[in-house]
Amino acid sequence: MSRITSHPVLPIPEGRKEVGFSFDGRPATGFAGEPVASSLVALGVSRFSLHPKDGAPQGLFCANGQCSQCTVLVDGIPRKSCVTPLVEGMDVRTLEGLPVLPDMDAPLAQAERRAIHTDILVIGGGPSGLSAAYELGRMGFQVVVADDKEKLGGKLVLQTHKFFGSEEDCYAGVRGVDIAGKLEEKLQKLPNVTILRNAPVVAVFKDRKAGVYKDYSSYLLVEFTAMVVAAGAREKSILFPGNDLPGVYGAGAFQTLVNRDLVGASKKLLIVGSGNVGLIAAYHALQAGIQVAGIVEITGRVNGYKVHADKIRRMGVPIHLNTTILRAERGAAERGAAAGKGGARVARAVAAKVDDQFRPIPGTAVAYDVDTILIATGLASCDEFLRQARDYGILAVAAGDAEEIAEASSAMFGGKIAAFALAKMLGKRIEMDATWLPKRDVLKSRPGDCFSRSPVMPGPEWRPVFFCSEEIPCNPCTTVCPVSAISLRPIRGNIMDLPYFSGDKCIGCMSCVGICPGLAISLVRRVSEDAAEVVLPWEFQADFPVGAQMDLVGQDGTFLEKAALVAKKKAAKNKTWLLTFRTGLANATSIAGIRVQGPEATEGEKLAEAACVDADALVCRCERVTLGELVQFIRDNDVRDINQLKTLRVGMGACGGKTCSQLVGRAFRLAGVDPATVEQGSQRPLFMEVPMGEIVNEGLSSLGGKDAGRRGAP
């Protein structure tokens, strides 16, 4: 694959230190400090290990430290490459089968227990965790925020798009990656808040201590009085044959590679799922110069915001409704090869239409030549620490996605609300701003009704045209307009209402065009009897000259006309290009966007079959257990308890059931068992593996030090 060397939104850091390392004995280079996984993906490596059970190639999957699919040998020791920083001279190798425990037999040098105390432990430094920590810190509590990444902000740091919501409450119109910085800056001003970076919490114990795997190299116990669980969410996987191939992964993993580590992780991909995550992933891919063959959605409607979906369609990405992925295939040369041989990566995705029972319809299969399949079929709360805390009677609240899956804008409010709830439980006499709860509820609303707008006639003066027709919580166009010419038409009486141009005061400043997260506002004016000028937002490379002819499309992506670019300028505040075209008068107010990729990128090959052997789909990736094996076992043994699936090792792998727990219900259903009657699986620490030497801190010479933080140390 490759590195991303230019990006319309993200700055390409200069002067990064290139270091040499070796992969399977061959010399290679990467950037110092980046995850080894990203160095490998940039080198084109898809196969990180060969599974001990059947030699199947294992590739990067979560890119988030949660699963263990990216394990490689680093200097002879198995490590998760997505959380191991690259260091000059590293000897990195494909892990083939089980690792050999190195015979490092020198006596134990030392063992020490490190502990710090705090009032409140906040697990997770994303939008909700940072907001909660800020509020609790302001109230005077000692707070420790433990986050598993170097850079705070959670998934915000992966978001190059502008956020919905309102400017006043949640930075609407600002890109996620920039919001993260603002939240962190606020928090750092509070002296009683200690931030532990690169510090995943791996366990919550009954004696009100949390085990923290600091810098993925030492073990710190944080003793606390109460806890905020703001650990976010993890991506749900789905079942189809080939779902385990390298090149099939979550949209979040893809965003990490592309937007955080600037690795060109793919040439062309297919997205499964049309929620906001899937829609945004398409946008991120196009920004990174990656083609998108399409989005398949098994239901009959787009799951995310219509304004997102329209935007993606305008860019040239089709959304195939009532369509499912049938299977992922390796390349032709590799298809017949035995498992473990060859470079084994996705080379083709086969999709088909489904009937109203979600069964594939024979004769509708289409194959797409893609190297990557992104799964964006939903998120599941990371609530294991909350459940653990409640089992132990520990005072704990959840915030953000760990509480309920919703947008980051509502997570910020959720964090504040959780902070106040916890403070009250801890006996603070304090009242929350009464507007927060209703605001949060609006921000996490599902989209409301769709409205059609009356046709607009272009006049001689600039005026905005809105391609925003579905109620979603968003209003920055109204607050950015310097002459207050845009307002929400009050039907619901909150920011779900749709914006309308409320007069003739438009001064053509283009602020609304630049701020709209949906890229759903144009400015139009008539310039002659049969021509108009249209201003459109553009969030891609603009390396074309004025005078260039570009394909302009309507709200849903329908081609309308080729038009010449007459002016371009970049809105410095939000890095959005504002492109002015001279168009025909007839289309002017219908033109909503600019095509980014042509139809050739989205063509597939019709196949004559629609066979789907789900039994071969992998439920448990760690231990490689298929759906078919599970169904058989459930039938043979009258299983009514998820814990019994451990007999097949389901849930016993390195990840601790993070992926398969979302999938086993299907196996019970296929075996004729109602999942509602099945006993839930129990969860146990650790939630991430830690080497024994690091549990006893053998490598540390003294107590204290930078990671404990001056304020947090006892």
Kindly list the residues in this chain that would bind another protein in the complex (CB under 8 A). 52, 77-78, 97-108, 111, 113, 203, 205-207, 209, 211, 219, 221, 391-392, 636-641, 643-644, 646-647, 649, 654, 656, 679, 684-686, 689-693, 695-696, 698
Cα 672 to chain centroid, rounded: 34
Compute the CA torsion angle 187, 188, 194, 198 (nearest 10 deg): 90
Alpha carbon distance 34, 15 (integer Å): 14
Cα 198 to chain centroid, rounded: 18
Residue found by looking up tokens 């307009």 in the block: 481
Angle at CA of residue 345, ends 359 and 318, nearest 5°: 50
> Which residues, 6 or more positions from 655, have their beta carbon under 8 angstroms from its beta carbon?
66, 67, 68, 621, 622
How near is the Cβ of 101 to another protein at its closest, in Å? Answer: 5
How near is the Cβ of 658 to another protein at its closest, in Å? Answer: 13
Which C-beta is closer to another protein: that of 97 or that of 599? 97
The full DSSP string for 172-213 is TTSBHHHHHHHHHHHHHT-TTEEEE-S--EEEEETTTEEEEE
Which two tokens mark 296?
A: 């398949």
Nearest-CA neighbor of 408 among 188, 227, 159?
159
How near is the Cβ of 406 to another protein at its closest, in Å? Answer: 31
State how beta strands 521-526 and 49-50 pair: unpaired
How near is the Cβ of 361 to another protein at its closest, in Å? Answer: 39
Which C-beta is closer to another protein: that of 207 or that of 431? 207
Which C-beta is closer to another protein: that of 104 or that of 572? 104
Which C-beta is closer to another protein: that of 404 or that of 689? 689
How near is the Cβ of 387 to another protein at its closest, in Å? Answer: 12
Which C-beta is closer to another protein: that of 225 or that of 643? 643
How near is the Cβ of 228 to another protein at its closest, in Å? Answer: 19
Which C-beta is closer to another protein: that of 221 or that of 421? 221
Cα 367 to chain centroid, rounded: 26
How near is the Cβ of 397 to another protein at its closest, in Å? Answer: 20
Angle between helix 127-138 and helix 408-425 axes, rounded to 10 deg: 40
How near is the Cβ of 687 to another protein at its closest, in Å? Answer: 9
Does residue 350 contact residue 369 with C-beta atoms inside 8 Å?
Answer: no
Which C-beta is closer to another protein: that of 180 or that of 625? 625
How near is the Cβ of 271 to another protein at its closest, in Å? Answer: 33
Ordered strands of the 323-330 beta sheet: 323-330, 346-353, 366-368, 605-606
The full DSSP string for 405-438 is ---HHHHHHHHHHHHHHHHHHTT------TTHHH
Which C-beta is closer to another protein: that of 208 or that of 440? 208
Which C-beta is closer to another protein: that of 71 or that of 142? 71
Does residue 39 contact residue 93 with C-beta atoms inside 8 Å?
Answer: no
